[in-house]
């Protein structure tokens, strides 16, 4: 793993405890991740990647489908949204490239 990927993974992991604390007061959501949920907002998740064009972390062409956390075999799941579904064409600030 190169330094850039290591730093991206570190950022993603550092956001998980914050999101977990925030969401512990409400019942765990299920199904498709919605943009207005606290965890999604914390990660700047959008269902359509191009909607993130004003986010400094977004690069054209990056989306959930080519993110290392995307789990196509788990009903388009995402490691950061355990048990939930995200859009293939979505994006969030924790995006990191899939290892080749
Ligand atoms: S698959 Fe990647 S870009 Fe999509 S929500 Fe999960 S971490 Fe964010």
What are the residue ranges spanned by the domains of the chain?
A: 3-24+32-85
DSSP 66: G
List, for residues 42-85, the tens digit of each pLDDT value: 999 999 999 999 999 999 999 999 999 999 999 999 999 998 99
Q: How confident is the model at residue 29 (pLDDT cuts 50, 70, 90)?
A: confident
b (16+ CB within 10 A) / e for 62-93: bbbbebebbbeeeebbbebbeebbbbeebbbb
- 17-21, 24-28, 35-39, 49-53: which range is least confident on average? 17-21
Closest alpha carbon to 83 in 14, 20, 33, 17? 33
Name, in order, each residue with C-beta under 8 angstroms of 30's C-beta and a sequence gap of 6 or more: 83, 84
Say how many Å lie between the CA of residue 32 and the centre of ligand 1.
13
Ligand 1 atom showing the smallest separation from residue 33 Cα: 5
Atom of ligand 1 nearest to the CA of 86: 5
Q: Is the pTM of this model over 0.85?
A: no
Ligand 1 pocket residue status of 91, Cβ below 6 Å: yes
Structure confidence at residue 45 (pLDDT): 98
Could you tell me if the CB of 58 is within 6 A of ligand 1?
no
């Amino acid at each position: 793993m190169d330094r850039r990927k290591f730093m991206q993974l570190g950022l993603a992991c550092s956001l998980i405890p914050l999101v977990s604390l925030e969401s512990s007061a409400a019942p765990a959501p299920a199904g498709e991740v919605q943009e207005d949920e606290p965890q999604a907002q914390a990660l700047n998740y959008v269902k359509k990647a191009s909607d993130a064009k004003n986010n400094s972390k977004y690069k054209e062409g990056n989306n959930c489908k080519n993110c290392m956390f995307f789990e196509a075999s788990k009903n388009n799941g995402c490691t950061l949204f355990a048990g939930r579904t995200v859009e293939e064409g979505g994006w969030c600030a924790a995006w990191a490239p899939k290892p080749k």
